[in-house]
Homo-oligomer: A and B are copies of this chain.
Amino acid sequence: MNGGTSDTPLEARWLRLIPSLVLGLAIWIAPVPQGVAPEGWHTLAVFAATILGLLLRPFAMASIVLLGILVLIVTGALGPTSKDALQTALTGFADTTVWLVVAAFLIAGAVVRTGLGRRIALGLVHKLGRSERGLAYGIGAAELVLAPVIPSNTARGGGILAPIVDSLCRSLGSEEERAGVSRYLVACGAHFNLVTAAMFLTAMAANPLVSEAAETIAGVQFGWAKWALGSIVPGLAAIALLPLLMERLVKPPKLDVSAARATAEAELAALGPMDRAEKILLATLGLLLLLWATGPLHGLHTTVVALLGIAVLLFTGAQRWRDMAGTWGAWDALVWLGGLVMMADHLRETGVIDWFANGAGAYASGLAPLSAALILAAVYFYSMYGFSMLTGHITAMAGAFIAVALAAGAPPLLSIALIAYFSNLCGCLTHYSTGPVVIYFGLGYHSVPDWFRIGFVVSLFHMVVWLGIGLPWWKLIGWW
Protein backbone atom coordinates (compact mmCIF):
# COMPACT_ATOMS: atom_id res chain seq x y z
CA MET A 1 0.00 0.00 0.00
CA ASN A 2 3.06 2.24 0.06
CA GLY A 3 3.62 5.00 -2.41
CA GLY A 4 0.26 4.10 -3.87
CA THR A 5 -0.72 7.71 -3.50
CA SER A 6 2.17 9.18 -5.42
CA ASP A 7 -0.01 9.88 -8.46
CA THR A 8 -2.00 12.36 -6.39
CA PRO A 9 -0.82 15.96 -6.92
CA LEU A 10 1.69 17.06 -4.31
CA GLU A 11 -0.53 19.91 -3.04
CA ALA A 12 -3.35 17.46 -2.36
CA ARG A 13 -0.95 15.22 -0.48
CA TRP A 14 0.28 18.10 1.65
CA LEU A 15 -3.34 19.04 2.42
CA ARG A 16 -3.89 15.53 3.67
CA LEU A 17 -1.05 16.00 6.14
CA ILE A 18 -2.90 18.86 7.82
CA PRO A 19 -5.26 16.79 10.01
CA SER A 20 -2.20 14.95 11.37
CA LEU A 21 -0.41 18.16 12.15
CA VAL A 22 -3.49 19.63 13.84
CA LEU A 23 -4.01 16.52 15.96
CA GLY A 24 -0.35 16.39 16.93
CA LEU A 25 -0.27 20.06 17.82
CA ALA A 26 -3.48 19.83 19.85
CA ILE A 27 -2.12 17.02 21.99
CA TRP A 28 1.28 18.72 22.25
CA ILE A 29 -0.14 21.93 23.73
CA ALA A 30 -2.71 20.20 25.94
CA PRO A 31 -1.79 20.09 29.65
CA VAL A 32 0.46 17.14 30.52
CA PRO A 33 -1.35 14.74 32.90
CA GLN A 34 0.20 13.88 36.25
CA GLY A 35 2.55 10.91 36.22
CA VAL A 36 3.46 11.42 32.56
CA ALA A 37 6.84 12.92 31.64
CA PRO A 38 6.59 15.89 29.23
CA GLU A 39 8.76 13.97 26.73
CA GLY A 40 6.23 11.15 26.95
CA TRP A 41 3.34 13.50 26.26
CA HIS A 42 5.15 14.98 23.28
CA THR A 43 5.87 11.45 22.03
CA LEU A 44 2.15 10.73 22.31
CA ALA A 45 1.41 13.82 20.22
CA VAL A 46 3.80 12.73 17.49
CA PHE A 47 2.64 9.10 17.73
CA ALA A 48 -1.00 10.10 17.30
CA ALA A 49 -0.12 12.39 14.39
CA THR A 50 1.92 9.60 12.79
CA ILE A 51 -0.93 7.09 13.04
CA LEU A 52 -3.42 9.53 11.57
CA GLY A 53 -0.86 10.12 8.83
CA LEU A 54 -0.69 6.38 8.18
CA LEU A 55 -4.47 6.22 7.88
CA LEU A 56 -4.80 9.24 5.58
CA ARG A 57 -1.76 8.01 3.66
CA PRO A 58 -0.67 11.19 1.88
CA PHE A 59 2.86 9.74 1.64
CA ALA A 60 4.42 6.29 2.00
CA MET A 61 4.24 4.80 5.51
CA ALA A 62 8.01 4.95 5.96
CA SER A 63 8.08 8.62 4.96
CA ILE A 64 5.49 9.50 7.56
CA VAL A 65 7.21 7.48 10.26
CA LEU A 66 10.55 9.09 9.33
CA LEU A 67 8.97 12.52 9.71
CA GLY A 68 7.63 11.53 13.12
CA ILE A 69 11.07 10.30 14.18
CA LEU A 70 12.72 13.52 13.06
CA VAL A 71 10.18 15.68 14.89
CA LEU A 72 10.82 13.67 18.07
CA ILE A 73 14.60 14.07 17.67
CA VAL A 74 14.60 17.76 16.83
CA THR A 75 12.18 18.70 19.60
CA GLY A 76 14.23 16.85 22.19
CA ALA A 77 11.43 14.42 23.09
CA LEU A 78 13.82 11.47 22.76
CA GLY A 79 16.84 12.91 24.54
CA PRO A 80 18.57 16.15 25.51
CA THR A 81 21.18 16.25 22.75
CA SER A 82 20.79 15.45 19.09
CA LYS A 83 23.05 12.42 19.49
CA ASP A 84 21.19 11.05 22.53
CA ALA A 85 17.90 11.51 20.76
CA LEU A 86 19.24 9.83 17.63
CA GLN A 87 20.46 6.85 19.61
CA THR A 88 17.03 6.40 21.16
CA ALA A 89 15.40 6.91 17.77
CA LEU A 90 17.45 4.15 16.20
CA THR A 91 16.75 1.53 18.89
CA GLY A 92 13.77 0.22 16.94
CA PHE A 93 16.13 -0.74 14.11
CA ALA A 94 17.90 -3.18 16.43
CA ASP A 95 14.67 -4.70 17.73
CA THR A 96 14.60 -8.49 17.61
CA THR A 97 11.00 -8.66 16.42
CA VAL A 98 11.48 -6.02 13.76
CA TRP A 99 14.36 -8.08 12.38
CA LEU A 100 12.14 -11.15 12.36
CA VAL A 101 9.89 -9.28 9.95
CA VAL A 102 12.86 -8.06 7.90
CA ALA A 103 14.25 -11.59 7.68
CA ALA A 104 10.85 -13.04 6.85
CA PHE A 105 10.43 -10.46 4.07
CA LEU A 106 13.82 -11.43 2.65
CA ILE A 107 12.79 -15.09 2.65
CA ALA A 108 9.39 -14.23 1.19
CA GLY A 109 11.19 -12.39 -1.61
CA ALA A 110 12.88 -15.67 -2.47
CA VAL A 111 9.54 -17.52 -2.40
CA VAL A 112 8.16 -15.03 -4.91
CA ARG A 113 11.27 -14.71 -7.13
CA THR A 114 11.88 -18.43 -7.51
CA GLY A 115 8.23 -19.01 -8.42
CA LEU A 116 7.90 -21.49 -5.57
CA GLY A 117 4.99 -19.56 -4.06
CA ARG A 118 3.07 -19.67 -7.31
CA ARG A 119 3.96 -23.32 -7.82
CA ILE A 120 2.67 -24.29 -4.37
CA ALA A 121 -0.52 -22.32 -4.86
CA LEU A 122 -1.22 -23.72 -8.33
CA GLY A 123 -0.36 -27.22 -7.17
CA LEU A 124 -2.79 -27.13 -4.29
CA VAL A 125 -5.55 -25.61 -6.40
CA HIS A 126 -5.00 -28.29 -9.02
CA LYS A 127 -4.87 -31.06 -6.44
CA LEU A 128 -7.99 -30.04 -4.54
CA GLY A 129 -9.95 -28.26 -7.26
CA ARG A 130 -12.34 -31.00 -8.38
CA SER A 131 -15.36 -28.88 -7.49
CA GLU A 132 -16.17 -25.29 -6.61
CA ARG A 133 -15.71 -26.14 -2.98
CA GLY A 134 -12.48 -27.96 -3.84
CA LEU A 135 -11.11 -24.90 -5.61
CA ALA A 136 -11.92 -22.85 -2.53
CA TYR A 137 -10.12 -25.32 -0.30
CA GLY A 138 -7.17 -25.26 -2.68
CA ILE A 139 -6.95 -21.49 -2.28
CA GLY A 140 -7.25 -21.82 1.49
CA ALA A 141 -4.59 -24.52 1.64
CA ALA A 142 -2.22 -22.37 -0.40
CA GLU A 143 -2.79 -19.41 1.92
CA LEU A 144 -2.18 -21.65 4.92
CA VAL A 145 1.07 -23.07 3.56
CA LEU A 146 2.48 -19.73 2.43
CA ALA A 147 1.31 -17.62 5.37
CA PRO A 148 4.08 -18.46 7.86
CA VAL A 149 6.84 -17.44 5.46
CA ILE A 150 5.29 -14.50 3.60
CA PRO A 151 4.84 -11.75 6.16
CA SER A 152 3.23 -9.36 3.73
CA ASN A 153 -0.38 -10.46 3.49
CA THR A 154 -0.60 -8.16 0.47
CA ALA A 155 2.26 -9.94 -1.30
CA ARG A 156 0.67 -13.29 -0.46
CA GLY A 157 -3.00 -12.57 -1.11
CA GLY A 158 -2.72 -9.75 -3.59
CA GLY A 159 0.52 -10.73 -5.29
CA ILE A 160 0.41 -14.52 -5.50
CA LEU A 161 -3.14 -15.73 -4.92
CA ALA A 162 -5.43 -13.04 -6.31
CA PRO A 163 -3.94 -13.36 -9.83
CA ILE A 164 -4.40 -17.14 -9.65
CA VAL A 165 -7.99 -16.79 -8.43
CA ASP A 166 -8.63 -14.28 -11.19
CA SER A 167 -7.29 -16.60 -13.86
CA LEU A 168 -9.30 -19.53 -12.46
CA CYS A 169 -12.43 -17.40 -12.66
CA ARG A 170 -11.72 -16.28 -16.22
CA SER A 171 -11.43 -19.86 -17.38
CA LEU A 172 -14.99 -20.59 -16.21
CA GLY A 173 -16.71 -19.18 -19.28
CA SER A 174 -18.34 -15.86 -20.16
CA GLU A 175 -18.61 -13.07 -17.63
CA GLU A 176 -22.24 -13.92 -16.98
CA GLU A 177 -21.71 -17.66 -16.63
CA ARG A 178 -18.83 -17.31 -14.22
CA ALA A 179 -20.18 -14.42 -12.11
CA GLY A 180 -21.65 -16.56 -9.33
CA VAL A 181 -18.69 -18.88 -8.88
CA SER A 182 -16.29 -15.97 -9.17
CA ARG A 183 -18.08 -14.10 -6.39
CA TYR A 184 -17.71 -17.23 -4.28
CA LEU A 185 -14.03 -17.88 -4.98
CA VAL A 186 -13.02 -14.23 -4.62
CA ALA A 187 -14.81 -13.89 -1.29
CA CYS A 188 -13.19 -17.11 -0.08
CA GLY A 189 -9.75 -15.90 -1.20
CA ALA A 190 -10.02 -12.57 0.57
CA HIS A 191 -11.33 -13.98 3.83
CA PHE A 192 -8.85 -16.91 3.82
CA ASN A 193 -6.07 -14.33 3.57
CA LEU A 194 -7.25 -12.65 6.76
CA VAL A 195 -7.59 -15.93 8.64
CA THR A 196 -4.09 -17.05 7.72
CA ALA A 197 -2.74 -13.57 8.51
CA ALA A 198 -4.20 -14.02 11.97
CA MET A 199 -2.71 -17.46 12.49
CA PHE A 200 1.04 -16.78 12.44
CA LEU A 201 3.31 -14.11 13.87
CA THR A 202 5.10 -14.01 10.53
CA ALA A 203 1.96 -13.97 8.37
CA MET A 204 1.36 -10.21 8.48
CA ALA A 205 3.89 -7.41 8.80
CA ALA A 206 2.26 -5.64 11.73
CA ASN A 207 1.63 -8.76 13.86
CA PRO A 208 4.95 -8.26 15.70
CA LEU A 209 3.56 -4.99 17.04
CA VAL A 210 1.07 -7.06 19.06
CA SER A 211 3.87 -9.33 20.21
CA GLU A 212 5.95 -6.32 21.22
CA ALA A 213 3.02 -4.78 23.05
CA ALA A 214 2.45 -8.06 24.90
CA GLU A 215 6.02 -8.10 26.10
CA THR A 216 6.51 -4.45 26.92
CA ILE A 217 3.06 -3.72 28.36
CA ALA A 218 2.06 -7.03 29.91
CA GLY A 219 5.47 -8.66 30.31
CA VAL A 220 4.07 -11.67 28.46
CA GLN A 221 6.06 -13.55 25.81
CA PHE A 222 3.78 -14.08 22.83
CA GLY A 223 6.25 -15.38 20.26
CA TRP A 224 5.99 -17.49 17.13
CA ALA A 225 5.28 -20.87 18.74
CA LYS A 226 2.76 -19.49 21.26
CA TRP A 227 1.00 -17.42 18.62
CA ALA A 228 0.60 -20.49 16.39
CA LEU A 229 -0.36 -22.80 19.26
CA GLY A 230 -3.30 -20.59 20.15
CA SER A 231 -4.47 -20.10 16.57
CA ILE A 232 -4.04 -23.55 15.14
CA VAL A 233 -7.34 -25.04 16.35
CA PRO A 234 -9.74 -22.13 15.74
CA GLY A 235 -7.78 -21.13 12.62
CA LEU A 236 -8.04 -24.53 10.97
CA ALA A 237 -11.71 -24.68 11.96
CA ALA A 238 -12.28 -21.29 10.33
CA ILE A 239 -10.54 -22.41 7.12
CA ALA A 240 -12.55 -25.63 7.06
CA LEU A 241 -15.88 -23.90 7.64
CA LEU A 242 -15.43 -20.73 5.61
CA PRO A 243 -16.24 -22.26 2.17
CA LEU A 244 -19.39 -23.82 3.62
CA LEU A 245 -20.51 -20.48 5.05
CA MET A 246 -19.67 -18.75 1.80
CA GLU A 247 -21.81 -21.25 -0.17
CA ARG A 248 -24.78 -20.21 1.95
CA LEU A 249 -23.99 -16.52 1.59
CA VAL A 250 -23.12 -16.34 -2.11
CA LYS A 251 -25.12 -19.31 -3.43
CA PRO A 252 -22.86 -20.05 -6.38
CA PRO A 253 -24.58 -21.98 -9.20
CA LYS A 254 -23.30 -25.51 -9.76
CA LEU A 255 -20.78 -25.28 -12.58
CA ASP A 256 -18.32 -27.69 -14.15
CA VAL A 257 -14.96 -26.39 -12.88
CA SER A 258 -12.73 -28.74 -14.84
CA ALA A 259 -11.70 -25.83 -17.09
CA ALA A 260 -10.37 -23.98 -14.04
CA ARG A 261 -8.53 -27.04 -12.91
CA ALA A 262 -7.06 -27.42 -16.39
CA THR A 263 -5.91 -23.80 -16.28
CA ALA A 264 -4.10 -24.43 -13.01
CA GLU A 265 -2.52 -27.49 -14.54
CA ALA A 266 -1.41 -25.60 -17.63
CA GLU A 267 0.07 -22.76 -15.61
CA LEU A 268 1.81 -25.30 -13.44
CA ALA A 269 3.23 -27.04 -16.50
CA ALA A 270 4.42 -23.67 -17.82
CA LEU A 271 6.55 -23.29 -14.68
CA GLY A 272 8.55 -26.35 -15.74
CA PRO A 273 10.16 -28.75 -13.29
CA MET A 274 11.43 -27.46 -9.95
CA ASP A 275 14.99 -26.20 -10.19
CA ARG A 276 17.76 -26.54 -7.62
CA ALA A 277 17.08 -23.15 -6.01
CA GLU A 278 13.40 -23.99 -5.50
CA LYS A 279 14.19 -27.36 -3.96
CA ILE A 280 16.68 -25.83 -1.53
CA LEU A 281 14.17 -23.11 -0.71
CA LEU A 282 11.43 -25.66 -0.08
CA ALA A 283 13.68 -27.63 2.26
CA THR A 284 14.73 -24.43 4.02
CA LEU A 285 11.11 -23.40 4.52
CA GLY A 286 10.38 -26.78 6.03
CA LEU A 287 13.34 -26.41 8.38
CA LEU A 288 12.23 -22.90 9.37
CA LEU A 289 8.71 -24.02 10.23
CA LEU A 290 10.06 -26.94 12.22
CA LEU A 291 12.49 -24.77 14.18
CA TRP A 292 9.92 -22.02 14.73
CA ALA A 293 7.30 -24.43 16.00
CA THR A 294 9.78 -26.13 18.33
CA GLY A 295 11.38 -22.93 19.64
CA PRO A 296 10.73 -23.69 23.31
CA LEU A 297 12.62 -27.01 22.91
CA HIS A 298 15.90 -25.87 21.36
CA GLY A 299 15.88 -22.29 22.63
CA LEU A 300 16.91 -20.65 19.35
CA HIS A 301 15.21 -17.27 19.04
CA THR A 302 12.69 -17.00 16.20
CA THR A 303 14.73 -14.28 14.54
CA VAL A 304 17.94 -16.31 14.79
CA VAL A 305 16.14 -19.17 13.05
CA ALA A 306 15.02 -16.83 10.27
CA LEU A 307 18.56 -15.50 9.83
CA LEU A 308 19.85 -19.07 9.70
CA GLY A 309 17.38 -19.74 6.91
CA ILE A 310 18.73 -16.76 4.97
CA ALA A 311 22.29 -17.96 5.48
CA VAL A 312 21.34 -21.40 4.12
CA LEU A 313 19.85 -19.81 1.00
CA LEU A 314 22.92 -17.63 0.47
CA PHE A 315 25.62 -20.21 1.08
CA THR A 316 23.94 -22.91 -0.98
CA GLY A 317 23.81 -20.42 -3.83
CA ALA A 318 20.01 -20.76 -3.96
CA GLN A 319 19.76 -16.98 -3.65
CA ARG A 320 22.15 -14.13 -4.38
CA TRP A 321 22.52 -11.50 -1.68
CA ARG A 322 22.10 -8.77 -4.27
CA ASP A 323 18.63 -10.07 -5.13
CA MET A 324 17.70 -10.54 -1.48
CA ALA A 325 18.91 -7.05 -0.54
CA GLY A 326 16.84 -5.72 -3.42
CA THR A 327 13.64 -6.85 -1.65
CA TRP A 328 12.48 -3.33 -0.92
CA GLY A 329 9.59 -4.47 1.29
CA ALA A 330 12.05 -5.77 3.89
CA TRP A 331 13.74 -2.41 4.32
CA ASP A 332 10.46 -0.56 4.07
CA ALA A 333 9.22 -2.65 7.01
CA LEU A 334 12.48 -2.06 8.88
CA VAL A 335 11.95 1.69 8.72
CA TRP A 336 8.25 1.96 9.49
CA LEU A 337 8.02 -0.92 11.92
CA GLY A 338 11.28 0.02 13.65
CA GLY A 339 10.09 3.60 14.03
CA LEU A 340 6.71 2.59 15.42
CA VAL A 341 8.22 0.07 17.84
CA MET A 342 10.60 2.74 19.10
CA MET A 343 7.74 5.19 19.65
CA ALA A 344 5.65 2.58 21.46
CA ASP A 345 8.61 1.67 23.69
CA HIS A 346 9.17 5.32 24.49
CA LEU A 347 5.50 5.80 25.36
CA ARG A 348 5.79 3.01 27.86
CA GLU A 349 9.07 4.21 29.35
CA THR A 350 7.73 7.71 29.87
CA GLY A 351 4.59 6.55 31.69
CA VAL A 352 2.03 7.28 28.98
CA ILE A 353 0.78 3.70 28.71
CA ASP A 354 0.33 3.39 32.48
CA TRP A 355 -1.52 6.69 32.61
CA PHE A 356 -3.84 5.67 29.79
CA ALA A 357 -4.44 2.16 31.13
CA ASN A 358 -5.22 3.39 34.62
CA GLY A 359 -7.63 5.98 33.27
CA ALA A 360 -9.40 3.73 30.79
CA GLY A 361 -9.20 0.66 33.02
CA ALA A 362 -11.34 2.43 35.60
CA TYR A 363 -14.31 2.32 33.20
CA ALA A 364 -13.91 -1.39 32.62
CA SER A 365 -13.12 -2.37 36.18
CA GLY A 366 -16.74 -3.11 37.10
CA LEU A 367 -16.80 -6.04 34.70
CA ALA A 368 -15.99 -9.67 35.38
CA PRO A 369 -12.49 -10.48 34.09
CA LEU A 370 -13.64 -12.69 31.21
CA SER A 371 -16.38 -10.26 30.20
CA ALA A 372 -13.86 -7.43 30.21
CA ALA A 373 -11.59 -9.36 27.82
CA LEU A 374 -14.45 -10.28 25.49
CA ILE A 375 -16.08 -6.87 25.42
CA LEU A 376 -12.77 -5.13 24.81
CA ALA A 377 -11.89 -7.59 22.05
CA ALA A 378 -15.26 -7.06 20.37
CA VAL A 379 -14.90 -3.28 20.54
CA TYR A 380 -11.39 -3.64 19.11
CA PHE A 381 -12.76 -5.82 16.29
CA TYR A 382 -15.62 -3.60 15.22
CA SER A 383 -13.63 -0.38 15.58
CA MET A 384 -11.97 -1.52 12.33
CA TYR A 385 -14.97 -0.04 10.49
CA GLY A 386 -13.31 3.31 11.12
CA PHE A 387 -9.86 2.32 9.84
CA SER A 388 -8.56 2.05 6.31
CA MET A 389 -5.59 -0.15 7.15
CA LEU A 390 -4.97 -3.10 9.44
CA THR A 391 -1.52 -1.79 10.33
CA GLY A 392 -2.88 1.60 11.34
CA HIS A 393 -5.56 -0.08 13.46
CA ILE A 394 -3.00 -2.30 15.19
CA THR A 395 -0.55 0.53 15.77
CA ALA A 396 -3.20 2.82 17.15
CA MET A 397 -5.18 0.39 19.25
CA ALA A 398 -3.54 -2.95 20.06
CA GLY A 399 -1.23 -1.72 22.81
CA ALA A 400 -3.92 0.46 24.31
CA PHE A 401 -6.48 -2.37 24.40
CA ILE A 402 -3.99 -4.75 26.00
CA ALA A 403 -3.18 -2.13 28.62
CA VAL A 404 -6.84 -1.51 29.37
CA ALA A 405 -7.61 -5.22 29.54
CA LEU A 406 -4.82 -5.68 32.09
CA ALA A 407 -6.01 -2.70 34.13
CA ALA A 408 -9.52 -4.15 34.11
CA GLY A 409 -8.22 -7.43 35.49
CA ALA A 410 -8.83 -9.50 32.36
CA PRO A 411 -6.68 -12.66 31.95
CA PRO A 412 -3.48 -11.38 30.29
CA LEU A 413 -2.73 -14.22 27.86
CA LEU A 414 -6.34 -14.52 26.79
CA SER A 415 -6.62 -10.79 26.22
CA ILE A 416 -3.42 -10.73 24.18
CA ALA A 417 -4.51 -13.71 22.09
CA LEU A 418 -7.86 -12.12 21.31
CA ILE A 419 -6.24 -8.84 20.30
CA ALA A 420 -3.60 -10.70 18.26
CA TYR A 421 -6.04 -12.80 16.24
CA PHE A 422 -8.75 -10.16 15.95
CA SER A 423 -6.11 -7.73 14.61
CA ASN A 424 -6.36 -9.45 11.24
CA LEU A 425 -9.77 -11.11 11.36
CA CYS A 426 -11.40 -7.69 11.70
CA GLY A 427 -10.25 -6.93 8.16
CA CYS A 428 -13.34 -8.86 7.02
CA LEU A 429 -15.63 -5.92 7.71
CA THR A 430 -14.93 -3.60 4.78
CA HIS A 431 -13.55 -3.58 1.26
CA TYR A 432 -10.84 -1.06 2.19
CA SER A 433 -9.29 -2.79 5.23
CA THR A 434 -6.01 -4.10 3.80
CA GLY A 435 -4.14 -4.54 0.51
CA PRO A 436 -5.33 -8.00 -0.58
CA VAL A 437 -8.96 -7.21 0.27
CA VAL A 438 -8.70 -4.07 -1.86
CA ILE A 439 -7.22 -6.15 -4.66
CA TYR A 440 -9.77 -9.01 -4.45
CA PHE A 441 -12.63 -6.52 -4.26
CA GLY A 442 -11.07 -4.69 -7.19
CA LEU A 443 -11.51 -7.76 -9.40
CA GLY A 444 -15.04 -6.43 -9.72
CA TYR A 445 -17.28 -9.36 -8.79
CA HIS A 446 -18.85 -7.69 -5.74
CA SER A 447 -20.77 -4.52 -5.08
CA VAL A 448 -19.91 -2.53 -1.96
CA PRO A 449 -23.14 -3.46 -0.11
CA ASP A 450 -22.57 -7.10 -1.07
CA TRP A 451 -19.02 -7.01 0.36
CA PHE A 452 -20.24 -5.32 3.55
CA ARG A 453 -23.06 -7.82 4.01
CA ILE A 454 -20.75 -10.82 3.51
CA GLY A 455 -18.13 -9.15 5.71
CA PHE A 456 -20.53 -8.59 8.57
CA VAL A 457 -21.74 -12.20 8.50
CA VAL A 458 -18.10 -13.39 8.37
CA SER A 459 -17.40 -11.24 11.44
CA LEU A 460 -20.18 -13.06 13.31
CA PHE A 461 -18.81 -16.36 12.00
CA HIS A 462 -15.40 -15.45 13.45
CA MET A 463 -16.97 -14.60 16.80
CA VAL A 464 -18.64 -18.00 16.85
CA VAL A 465 -15.53 -19.92 15.72
CA TRP A 466 -12.82 -18.04 17.62
CA LEU A 467 -14.85 -17.77 20.82
CA GLY A 468 -16.85 -20.99 20.51
CA ILE A 469 -13.85 -23.14 19.63
CA GLY A 470 -11.03 -20.81 20.66
CA LEU A 471 -12.09 -20.18 24.24
CA PRO A 472 -12.30 -23.87 25.19
CA TRP A 473 -8.99 -24.50 23.38
CA TRP A 474 -7.28 -21.67 25.23
CA LYS A 475 -8.76 -22.95 28.47
CA LEU A 476 -7.36 -26.39 27.68
CA ILE A 477 -3.84 -25.03 27.13
CA GLY A 478 -4.10 -22.96 30.29
CA TRP A 479 -4.32 -19.47 28.85
CA TRP A 480 -7.14 -18.46 31.22
B-contacting residues of A (Cβ < 8 Å)?
Answer: 2-3, 6, 10, 13-14, 59-60, 62-63, 66-67, 69-70, 73-74, 81-83, 85-87, 90-96, 99, 299-301, 303-304, 307-308, 310-311, 314-317, 320-322, 325-326, 328, 330-332, 335
Contact = CB atoms under 8 A, between A and B. Distances in A.
Contacts of A99: 86, 90, 93
Nearest to A333: B325
A304 B70 contact: yes
Given A59-B314, A66-B310, A93-B94, 11 more contacts: A3-B322, A6-B320, A59-B315, A59-B321, A60-B322, A74-B304, A82-B299, A93-B93, A93-B99, A325-B328, A331-B331
A86 B82 CA distance: 27
9 contacts: A6-B320, A67-B311, A86-B304, A90-B94, A90-B99, A94-B94, A321-B332, A322-B328, A325-B335
Contacts of A60: 314, 320-322
A86 B90 contact: no
A95 B90 contact: yes
A326 B335 CA distance: 13
A290 B330 CA distance: 32
Contacts of A317: 6, 10, 13
Contacts of A81: 299
A50 to B, nearest CB: 13
Contacts of A82: 299-301, 304
Contact of A325 (B59, B62, B86): B62
A335 B93 CA distance: 12
A91 B92 CA distance: 10
A349 to B, nearest CB: 16
Contacts of A301: 82-83, 86
B86 A315 contact: no
Closest A-B pairs by Cβ, 7 of them: A94-B94, A60-B321, A90-B94, A3-B322, A82-B301, A63-B314, A325-B328
Contact of A321 (B63, B90, B299, B316): B63
Contacts of A330: 331
A320 B10 CA distance: 12
Given A82-B300, A301-B82, A325-B62, A69 B320 contact: no
Nearest to A313: B63
Nearest to A61: B321
Nearest to A300: B82
B3 A321 contact: yes
B87 A307 contact: no
Contacts of A325: 62, 328, 331-332, 335
Nearest to A307: B70
Nearest to A84: B301
A311 B60 CA distance: 11
A63 B91 CA distance: 23
A66 B304 CA distance: 11
B66 A307 contact: yes
